[in-house]
Amino acid sequence: MEETIIKTEYSDTMQKSFINYAMSVIISRALPDVRDGLKPVQRRTLYDMHELGIRYDRPYRKSARIVGDTMGKYHPHGDSSIYEALVVLTQDFKKGIPLIDGHGNFGNIEGDGAAAMRYTEARLQKITQEAILADLDKDVVDFVPNFDETEREPSVLPCRFPNLLVNGSEGIAVGMATSIPPHNLGEVIDATKAYMLNESITTAELMKYIKGPDFPTGGIVCNRDELLSIYETGVGKIKLRGAVEVEKTKGGKLNLVITEIPYTMIGANIGKFLQDVAALYEQKKAPEILDISNQSSKEGIRIVIELKKDTDVENFKNLLYKKTRLEDTFGVNMIAISDGRPETLGLKGIIAKNVEFQYEIAKRKYTTLLNRELEKREIQEGLIRACNIIDLIIEILRGSKDRNMVKNCLTNGVTEGIKFRSKSSSVMAQQLNFTERQANAILDMRLYKLIGLEIEALMKENAETNANIYKYEDILERRDSMAQVIIGELDALKKEYAQKRKTRIENAQEAVYEEKKPEETDLMFLMDRFGYCKTIDIPTYERNREAVHAEFKHVVKCRSTGKICVFTNTGQMHTIKVEDMPFGRLRDKGLPIDNISNYSSANETALLVASRSDLSLYRLLFVTKRAMCKLVSGGEFDVAKRTVAATKLGEGDELVNVSIVNECRNVVFQSAEGYFLRIDVEEISELKKTAVGVRGMKLGEKDWIESVHCIGPSEETQEITYKNKKINANKIKLNKRDGKGTKIKI
């Protein structure tokens, strides 16, 4: 067999392949159909349950059975996607009207997942059976071949209400996503009826019926005035808040109780909310919090925050709205499949498409019913007529040789080969003109049908059939009659399944939180050699002064509202807010400084830690490994950034010393090879922080500055430890800057 090589542009092939893939995801996976509000996997799951007979009035069946059957017949995309769709359809905290009745662990509002499909059971809800899957046997929708053309499935389900609005939908396709909030069933039905009675109705008029979204979690929609624009365009943002109540306890304390949460908080975000509230306390932004507990149950949400007496509750609520997801945004993007392609639809557009679908369903349903009644009437009229001439028909039966001979006589009046008792019977038989369907019914008729009461019942049934035919013809011929039928069905659905609105719609004021200025106190900042830091109060420090200085490498007095500056060997200065540091007892471990700053304990060494409020009072001495030194005014480091360059370093150089020299008279440079140079501190130039500095000491080729010592004005002996020996710093010869210094032999 010869090979055929097709030459094509690679980019064209990729473009076509991607477009095909994208359209497949958009149409066949991610987006719902505007007519029934279902994605393909949801539609196939519900239809499979209908076919398996797992109805609302029958026993539950294992979810694994449903998933396996759906995957094998209709949806060959893996069992996880089918089971996840089934789980969502059972969850009353995600769907306005759950379409599947689940039995077992199908997850909860706090984000716990459902049990494995082998453990759970499910069946259809009553509304699903009556309003979404009914009349599939009446040719109301088109059926298409499944993926391997061994089965047939409905292209859409005959949903009798705008399910896309009632249950909403979320899905991510390729290049687009849909996000439609759920609404109240009763309100949606009222709006649908209003549109049917006046198709020129405006979106604003429809919103007299549909006030806004109705989330199953309740909550408050805060931007009512913006809803009209959202519903007209199909795009926008809905601001949501949780519902909060205040309870007073016996001790005079206050409990802030969250009874409803924003729809966007369901799942793991409830745990995130609890963490955020705890973080507000730890960061000292909400010191009025005494305790927080999640007391939610099957009865509903109940998150309790215990507060101190005399707490400004309104201000605290605004803090929660500002800093947590108790106030959140639901992004609306009402994209659905309409006429085989994705389209962004407004409120009126979705209702219009659904009403158009309802008329199509009704037309096909009553056309099928009319045809069935016409067939029934044809048979009934034939049987009634046959009963009137039953003696002749019996004579034909007795005189015929086979069924075909009788049938030919009944339909066409052919009497050849039939033996009659009299010539008049033959003449009457030749005048018979039953239809083929009537003839078959006569031949299949049982003798008991000739009883008088049976004949009367047949006459009564024929009258009912004629009444039905008149009714169906009226529905099909007059749009008003069809509209009344659809409205009647909608009214019945509303009466049985409508629920009270859960979400309140209002124009809430912007949450304004007035942050209380924290009380300013003196604290002691402590940091050990491993980089763990904390703050303690002054009395604790005074009682344990010796132990503190023995255990911690850096001990600095600071203000609770101030900042700490950390100078490192890499030439960086890191600024840390004191309020970000943990305040506690002396024996508390503290927090790694890496967690609250840009400081990296793995790559940097802290040379000096100081309170930023005091830095402007100091002069700082910088000395590098290569003996470059300078004095810098502390005011240079009063900057807003968390991290700045404290000095400029040459290539391969690093800082070995940053120290405060306000009370320093002399500086002693100590090199690695044992050279000591003592100079007057004023010989070191005072420069900007961006300068490299001046050379403080001449070094040998392989020598470097190992340590720097500041000698105060005191006349007392000041000792330097070198190789475990004590050296009197005052006895080191005083020289000029940039000298080689004196080598001290040990």
Question: Which active-site residues does the annotation give?
Answer: 119
CA-to-CA separations, 185 to 97, 127, 498, 625, 703, in angstroms, rounded: 8, 12, 6, 77, 84
Beta-carbon contacts of 295 under 8 Å, excluding residues fewer than 6 positions away, are 302, 303, 304
Pairing, β 554-559 against β 522-527: antiparallel
Beta strand pairing call for 335-338 and 61-62: unpaired
Tokens of 379: 């048979």
> Which residues make Cβ contacts (< 8 Å) with residue 456, sequence separation at least 6?
none
Cα 581 to Cα 592: distance, rounded to the nearest angstrom = 9
* Residue from 90, 89, 93 nearest 267 by CA: 93
CA angle 103, 107, 109 (to 5 degrees): 125
Question: What span, in angstroms and rounded, lies between the C-alpha atoms of 334 and 181?
Answer: 9
How far apart CA 731 and CA 719 sit, in angstroms, is: 10
Which one, of 471, 282, 287, 461, lies nearest residue 381 by Cα? Answer: 461
How far, in Å, CA of 277 to CA of 191, rounded? Answer: 41
Contact residues for 94 (Cβ-Cβ < 8 A; gap 6+): 88, 216, 266
Helix (H) or strand (E) holding 235: strand 235-241
Q: Which two tokens stand for residue 591?
A: 């927090």
Helices 452-477, 347-388: crossing angle, 10 deg rounding: 150
The residue to which tokens 């309870």 are assigned: 247
Nearest-angstrom CA–CA distance, 563 and 591 = 16
Kindly give the pairing relationship between strand 554-559 and strand 504-505.
Answer: unpaired
Q: What are phi and psi of 318, to 5 degrees?
A: -65, -35
Asked whether the beta carbons of 675 and 703 are under 8 A apart, the reply is yes
| Conformation bin of residue 417: beta by default, left when phi > 0, alpha when psi is -120 to 50 | left
Count of alpha carbons within 13 Å of 417, Cβ hemisphere only? Answer: 12
Largest CA distance in the chain: 160
Q: Which of 497, 475, 495, 484 is nearest to 193 (CA)?
A: 484
Pairing of strands 220-221, 504-505: parallel
Tell me how far apart the alpha carbons of residues 375 and 297 are, in angstroms, rounded to a whole number. 58
Give the three-class secondary structure for 201.
coil
What φ, ψ does residue 111 adopt, rounded to 5°? 100, 0
Residue 545 CB neighbours (<10 A): 12
- Let me know: does 681 contact 739? Beta carbons within 8 Å: no
Contacts of 703 (CB under 8 A, 6+ apart): 671, 672, 673, 675
Question: 628 pairs with which residues across the strands?
Answer: 695
Round to whole Å and give the CA distance between 156 and 23. 18
